[in-house]
Amino acid sequence: MSRLAIKICGLSTPETLGAAVRAGVSHVGFVHFPKSPRHVEPDQIRALAAAIPAHVKRVAVVVDADDAQLARLVETGALTAIQLHGKESPARAAAIRQRFGLPVWKAIAVKTRADIDAADAYAGAVDRLLFDAKTPDGAALPGGMGLRFDWTLLRGLAIATPWGLSGGLSIDNVAEAIRISGARLIDISSGVESAPGIKSVDKIMAFCKAVQPC
């Protein structure tokens, strides 16, 4: 079985980024969305990414970003993928992949099985799907809220597009989430924070340790 991939999302300091790298993550995520407490500007991403070894992939997280915003992020030269976390259509996702020449991930907001089924529309348009919990109408953010969905909805999922699990994961529940869902990539943000936007070195370490036996 392939090694489990871990993405820590919403990193914004050299200390916590370094902890994630030491803990063995495969991916780090930089949120570029001004309403988020985890928001980072392209210059910060460039500086932060400079200290990351090449084997750790760097994902920019955006919400319905226009081409100008995406161009500023891609021009940092720091990214290995773009994660679309808004209401981007399959056609828009495919156009972004074509225009910017980077792998594109699409976050799928999940509450019911119908949401998982609807992800089929992105086949061929994106490189990875990230199943995340649907946030309530009017929520401040479309992600990073610590909400989870019914992981059994992913059991036995047979789709060609690589996928990952996100939403409400924590040190205490991640092993169960992996066992139930069968995910081989997991993504976490608020579960390794001491306050919104403040990542904890200790929690990052403990989370990665909790994943190791899986």
Ligand X SMILES: O=C(O)c1ccccc1NCC(=O)[C@H](O)[C@H](O)COP(=O)(O)O
Binding span for ligand X by CB under 6 A among 12-20, 48-56, 119-127, 188-196: 188-196
Question: Angle, to 10 degrees, between the axis of helix 201-211 and the axis of helix 14-23?
Answer: 20
Binding span for ligand X by CB under 6 A among 90-98, 120-128, 138-146, 203-211: 138-146
**Cβ of residue 8: shortest distance to ligand X, in angstroms?**
8
Q: Which residues pair with 140 in a beta bridge?
A: none
Task: Using CB under 6 A, pick the residue from 19, 109, 167, 181 that binds ligand X.
Answer: 167
Among positions 140-159, residues that touch ligand X (CB under 6 A) are 141-147
How many residues line the site for ligand X (CB under 6 A)? 27
Question: Angle, to 10 degrees, between the axis of helix 174-181 and the axis of helix 201-211?
Answer: 40
Phi–psi pair at 33, nearest 5 degrees: -160, 105
Catalytic residue among 9, 43, 127, 208: 9
Q: Applying CB under 6 A, does 16 fall inside the site for ligand X?
A: no
Task: Using CB under 6 A, pick the residue from 65, 73, 79, 191 that binds ligand X.
Answer: 191
Q: Applying CB under 6 A, does 190 fall inside the site for ligand X?
A: yes
The question of whether 117 is a catalytic residue gets the answer: no
For residues 97 and 126, is the Cβ–Cβ distance under 8 A? Answer: yes
The question of whether 132 is a catalytic residue gets the answer: yes
CA–CA distance, 89 with 106 (Å, rounded to integer): 9
**Cβ of residue 196: shortest distance to ligand X, in angstroms?**
8
CB-based contacts of 126, cutoff 8 Å, min separation 6: 84, 90, 93, 94, 97, 104, 105, 106, 161
Binding span for ligand X by CB under 6 A among 26-34, 64-72, 111-119, 156-164: 26-34
**DSSP 8-class letter at 67:** H
Catalytic sites, residue numbers: 9, 132
